[in-house]
Structure 1
Amino acid sequence: MKTLAINLDDIVIRPITNSVDFEEASKIIDALIDADLLEDLKLRKRALDILEAVTVLAIDYEKRHFPIPKPDPIEAIKERMSQLHLTRKDVAPYFGGENRVSEVFNKKRNLTIKMIRELNKNLGIPVDTLLTVS
C-alpha cells in the first residue's frame, strides 16, 4: 500500500513569488509525484488536486523567472534535419531548390511563408519557431 511522505493537511497552496517559495513547491511536487498510486480514492483525488495546483504555480514561476529563449529558426531546421538524417538536397524542395537552402542557411535570404508552410508540414517544425526573428 502506497503512503504519502507528506501530510496533506500541512500543505498550504499559495502564490510562488520567490526562490524559497519555489523550493517549497518543488518539495511538495516531489512528495506527491506518485499520488496516482494511492489506493484510497478520496486521498488520491485530494493529493492529485494539490499536486496539479502546485505544479501550475511552479510552472508559472519558472516561465516568468527562467524563460527558455526560442531557438533560431535556421538552427531549428538544421537540428531537425540532423534528427531525421536529411541532407540539404533532401530538404531543397521545401525551399524551392538547393540554392535557396544555401541562401537561407547563410542568412542571405529570409524564410518565405511558402517555405515555412513546407517545413512545418514536412519536418514538423512549429510555425512559431520558424517565424522567430534571429
Structure 2
Amino acid sequence: MCKVMKSEEQYDLYLDEIEALIELESEQGSKEQEKLELLTLLIKDYEERHYKFEYPDPIEAIKFRMEQQGLKQKDLVQYIGSKLIKHYTL
C-alpha cells in the first residue's frame, strides 16, 4: 500500500519500486500503471517539499556556460544577435 512519504528511506524505496514498474512495460490502465502514476505523484510531492531548487539568473547561467565552453560575447552573435548582447552586456 502506498502512503505519503515521510522519510528519505521511504523515498528511496518508492524510487526503486518505480524503476521496477517501468521495467515491466505494463499496459495503460493496468494496475501496475495506476500504481506507477500514484508513486510518481508521491515522489513529486516529496521532492517539492524536501528538495528546493532555485533557478539561476539567466544571464549568469549564460556567462557560466560561456566560461565552460571558452566562448566570448562575439561567439554568441550568430545565435542571439548583436543588439541583445549589447543590451545585456555579457
- With normalisation by structure 2, the TM-score equals 0.68
Q: Larger Cα Rg: Structure 1 or Structure 2?
A: 1
Q: CA deviation at 1:22?
A: 0.8
**1:56-80 Cα deviation digits (max 9, x unpaired):** 1112211211122211222223356
The separation in 2 between residues aligned to 1:101 and 1:54, in whole angstroms, is 43
Aligned match of 1:27: 16
Q: Could you tell me which amino acid in structure 1 is paired with residue 43 of structure 2?
A: A
The separation in 1 between residues aligned to 2:5 and 2:63, in whole angstroms, is 37
What percent identity do the matched residue pairs reach?
30
The separation in 1 between residues aligned to 2:37 and 2:73, in whole angstroms, is 44
Matched residue SS, 2:6: coil
Q: In angstroms, what is the RMSD of aligned CA positions?
A: 3.1
Aligned match of 2:44: 59
Q: How many residues align?
A: 85
Residue segments in structure 1 that go unaligned for 5+ positions in a row? 1-11, 106-134
Residue 54 to residue 74, structure 1, CA distance change in 2 (3 Å): same
The separation in 1 between residues aligned to 2:83 and 2:10, in whole angstroms, is 51
Relative contact order (alpha carbons < 8 A, sep ≥ 6): 1 or 2 greater?
2
Residue segments in structure 2 that go unaligned for 5+ positions in a row? none
- With normalisation by structure 1, the TM-score equals 0.49
The separation in 1 between residues aligned to 2:66 and 2:83, in whole angstroms, is 14
1:88–1:101 Cα contact (<8 Å) kept: no
The separation in 1 between residues aligned to 2:2 and 2:44, in whole angstroms, is 14
Q: More helix by proportion, 1 or 2? A: 2
Aligned match of 2:83: 93
Counterparts of residues 34-113 of structure 1 (less than 5 Å): 34-36=23-25, 38=26, 41=27, 45-78=30-63, 87-89=72-74, 90=77, 91=80, 92-95=82-85, 97=86, 100-102=87-89, 105=90
